[in-house]
């Protein structure tokens, strides 16, 4: 099946008891066991729930994976996956990762003896040179948040396999509709399902998918041990949101390309980060491994003062954290998604004082451009 068809089929699973085409919300924390010695599939909802099972199967199918796991947030998914490693293990991590992942690595996992080295994921020789005897995995995020750096997933996965390492890919910005890291060689894919998968800015959710049974067992152990699972009502809303993933991503991605193309021509804009533009350094790789440049872009207006003007003058996008909603969302990474990083650390990854991130929603792109035009006209 094509993805547009698969999206509908995996989220519309008829209930065998009633024939309902929507997955029932199983609001039960515990399940009766009819036999003293042999328990059924479900016993306690932290360990497994019929509604969550349907959601996990849907996300796995869309990523082309055999095993899916849903969590209470994207960071719960990332944290649980990274906790399959142990004291003394070392990770290589893209220096362009999301601020929450940066915080988890720097301030949490380091306390438990799981060390890391930040590397430029676009430089394979630099990645290889950073491998240590205790390195266990390479963690990438592509395109990255918020400067949209593109990592060659297949090349990194090939390098990882040559050294006996795992590849973990954050696919939040693309969604499985536009990019499938498992098919390119990644071992584990993670998502903030809050974003494009859910698509309506109404739930917090995370996901992890793998094809490897041994890895699935390790991820499930952490999911069950820590219990940061997705609640069943949010699971139902996630399934409902995924139903429109194809049409949302196609519309928002096309609009994002239109905005990026227009922004690149504006004198008040010093830089546009969007891998769907032929002038973007990541464009050739993005063309090879994804269907489009996606629905998120960032642009630099030269200074924090100008960023403030744009944020306070734009009338259509919500000025907020997060992305991937039906509504456009404008955010300021230095004070929002990457506030955990010092100014020096942000500078190393291209997060400049004038950088704004724009998640393009379902509004008419001509309206969004007109709104940006009146805001940029006020920049100094």
For residue 282, what pLDDT is reported?
Answer: 98
Residue 98 is a catalytic residue: yes
* The pLDDT value given to residue 193: 98
Tell me the mean pLDDT in the region 73-80: 98
- Contact criterion met (CB below 8 Å) for 124 and 131: no
pLDDT (average), residues 256-273: 98
Structure tokens at 314: 């734009």
pLDDT digits (tens, 9 = 90+) for 217-259: 999 999 999 999 999 999 999 999 999 999 999 999 999 999 9
Alpha carbon distances (Å) from 72 to 152, 203, 297, 301, 309: 29, 9, 26, 35, 35
The pLDDT mean for the chain works out to: 97
**Which of 80, 94, 251 has its CA nearest to residue 68?**
80
Confidence of residue 27 (pLDDT cuts 50, 70, 90): very high
Kindly indicate the confidence band of residue 77, based on its pLDDT and cuts at 50, 70 and 90. Answer: very high
pLDDT at position 23: 94
Burial of residue 361 (number of CB atoms within 10 Å: 0-12, 13-18, 19+): buried
Catalytic residue among 95, 136, 180, 195: 195
| Per-residue model confidence (pLDDT) at position 339 | 87
The residue from 52, 89, 95, 98 that is catalytic is: 98
Contacts of 166 (CB under 8 A, 6+ apart): 136, 137, 138, 160, 187, 188, 215
Q: Kindly name the residue from 89, 152, 170, 371 that is annotated as catalytic.
A: 170
pLDDT at residue 379, as a whole number: 97
What is the CA 193 to chain-centroid distance, rounded? 7
pLDDT score for 26: 95
Q: Is 357 a residue of the active site?
A: no
- What per-residue confidence (pLDDT) applies to 202? 97
The structure tokens listed for 81 are 């996956």
> What average pLDDT does range 134-138 have in this prediction?
98
Q: Contact 260/286 with Cβ under 8 angstroms? A: no
CB-hemisphere CA count at 13 Å for 298? 26
Strands in the chain per DSSP E: 67-71, 90-94, 115-119, 135-141, 166-170, 188-192, 206-210, 271-273, 296-300, 318-319, 329-331, 355-359
Burial of 278 (0-12, 13-18, 19+ CB in 10 A): exposed
pLDDT for 296-343, tens place per residue?
999 999 999 999 999 999 999 999 999 999 999 999 999 998 888 889
Report how far apart, in Å, the C-alpha atoms of 73 and of each of 102, 207, 225, 290 are.
16, 8, 16, 25
Residue 34 DSSP label: S
pLDDT of residue 318: 98
CB 239 within 8 A of CB 54: yes
Over residues 143-199, the pLDDT tens digits come to 999 999 999 999 999 999 999 999 999 999 999 999 999 999 999 999 999 999 999
**Whole-structure pTM value:** 0.96
């Amino acid at each position: 099946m094509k993805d547009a068809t698969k999206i509908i089929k995996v989220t519309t699973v008829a209930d065998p008891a009633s024939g309902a085409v929507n997955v029932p919300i199983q609001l039960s924390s515990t399940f009766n066991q009819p036999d003293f010695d042999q328990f059924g599939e479900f016993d306690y909802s932290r360990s497994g729930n019929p509604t969550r099972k349907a959601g996990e199967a849907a996300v796995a199918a869309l990523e082309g994976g055999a095993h899916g796991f849903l969590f209470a947030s994207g960071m719960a998914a990332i944290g649980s996956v990274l906790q399959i490693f142990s004291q003394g293990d070392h990770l290589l991590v893209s220096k362009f990762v999301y601020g929450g992942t940066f915080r988890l690595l720097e301030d949490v996992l380091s306390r438990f003896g799981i060390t890391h080295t930040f590397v430029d994921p676009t430089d394979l020789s630099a990645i290889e040179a950073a491998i240590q005897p205790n390195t266990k995995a390479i963690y990438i995020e592509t395109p990255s948040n918020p400067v949209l750096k593109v990592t060659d997933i297949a090349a990194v996965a090939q390098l990882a396999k040559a050294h006996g390492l795992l590849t973990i890919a954050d696919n939040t910005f693309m969604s499985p509709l536009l990019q499938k890291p498992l098919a390119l060689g990644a071992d584990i894919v993670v998502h903030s399902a809050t974003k494009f998968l859910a698509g309506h800015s109404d739930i917090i959710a995370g996901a992890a998918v793998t094809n490897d049974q041994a890895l699935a067992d390790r991820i499930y152990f952490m999911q069950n041990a820590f219990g940061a699972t997705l609640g069943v009502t949010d699971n139902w809303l996630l399934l409902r949101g995924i139903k429109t993933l194809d049409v949302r991503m196609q519309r928002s991605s096309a609009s994002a390309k239109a905005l990026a193309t227009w922004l690149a021509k504006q004198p008040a804009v010093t830089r546009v980060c969007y891998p769907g533009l032929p002038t973007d350094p990541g464009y050739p790789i993005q063309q090879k491994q994804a269907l489009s440049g996606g629905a998120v872009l960032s642009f630099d207006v030269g200074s924090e003062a100008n960023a403030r003007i744009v944020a306070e003058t734009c009338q259509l996008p919500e000025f907020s954290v997060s992305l991937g909603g039906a509504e456009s969302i404008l955010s300021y990474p230095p004070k929002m998604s990457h506030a955990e990083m010092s100014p020096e650390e942000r500078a190393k990854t291209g997060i400049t004082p004038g950088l704004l991130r724009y998640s393009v929603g379902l509004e008419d792109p001509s309206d969004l451009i007109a709104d940006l035009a009146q805001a940029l006209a006020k920049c100094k």
